[in-house]
Amino acid sequence: MTPAIFGISGLELSADERAFFKEADPAGYILFARNCENKEQLRKLTDDLRAIHGRDHLIVSIDQEGGRVVRMKPPEWQRYPAGEAFAKLWDIAPASAIEAARVNAEAMGRELGEMGITVDYHAPFDVRRAETDDVIGDRALGSDPMQVAALGRAVLDGMGRAGIVGCLKHMPGHGRATCDSHKALPHVIASEEELEIDIEPFRTLSAHPLGMSAHIVFEAWDPQNPATLSETVIREVIRGRIGFDGLLLSDDIDMQALDGTIPERSVRALEAGCDIVLNCWAKMEDQIAIAERGGTMRAKTTERLARVHAAMRQPQDGPDTAELLAKRDALLAIAEERAA
């Protein structure tokens, strides 16, 4: 199995994609808005991906957070708020904020599951600061690590009730980045002591089976390499201090924070200790090169992937999506009424 998650170019698989995916046998796939037109089309696409591999347990993933980060868009699918909405409610009623985050995530997860999606790269566990770049911004669940951990746990729990595996991102923390890693490489100069704040939410949820790295240089840990490409950060911080032993994905390997060709970045990420490379742009020449140069999946990665597969379950019985959304809206109205 190729240690990569690949993007798809359009609304349906091309003949070249179908043949390549069957041969390369990647760990899974990631969907974007370019792949999501309507419910019938999207379900057919995810069914086709499973047919290639002949198994139900497959990472078919998406970035569906709510707010600015949505791939399945209204009016075909429901609209969901950004993390900031739950952070504002926390300031008034923390227990209500936790429940609102949970039912919102469960409703979102039910929609994803109906489309054949098994993994959502949600929630960001990044602790927001005054200088945090807007690439995180209102996506964050708060500025206090305990709050971020509590609301993030609620998101993971809600997703889990819907049978969807959520994700701890972006380890070891994106909250101090002052530029967008899609466009440039952020450098964080905080001390190791200060960075304890950033890693605390991840440490609290470290038993979760799936996480994602950050394309950020943390000068206190490794002044030369971003976390994704740093053996030191992955071994000593993510695996060590945080204690995360789940499946570690790179953030999108195509992002401009990284240098070198896409295959070179992929090899460096795997050598540094990432389990899986996330390659989103669906460029066939890059995908072929990653499959050729990335080698086969390590035994430890196979074990960690099996734990992610095991977390893909049938949805639990409970309220339907409409009931969940009504409960969320009633809870979020508490903050809106207080603001008015």
Contact between residue 270 and residue 3 where contact means Cβ atoms under 8 Å apart: yes
Which residue in the list 251, 252, 275, 286 is annotated as catalytic?
251
Q: Is the torsion defined by CA of 224, 226, 230, 232 positive or negative?
A: positive
Which residues does residue 210 pair with via DSSP β-bridges, in sequence order?
247
- Read off the amino acid at residue 291: A
Please, what is the angle between helix 145-161 and helix 192-204, to 10°? Answer: 30
- Annotated catalytic, 174? no
How many whole angstroms separate alpha carbon 78 and alpha carbon 130? 31
Structure-block tokens of residue 317: 């019985």
Which residue in the list 47, 56, 91, 182 is annotated as catalytic?
182
How many whole angstroms separate alpha carbon 258 and alpha carbon 182? 9
- Annotated catalytic, 25? no
- How many other C-beta atoms are found inside a 10 Å radius of the C-beta of residue 148? 31
Residue 157 is given by DSSP the state H
Q: Which helix (H) or strand (E) holds 6?
A: strand 2-7
Going by C-alpha positions, the residue among 155, 153, 134 that lies closest to residue 145 is 153
Annotated active-site positions, please? 182, 251
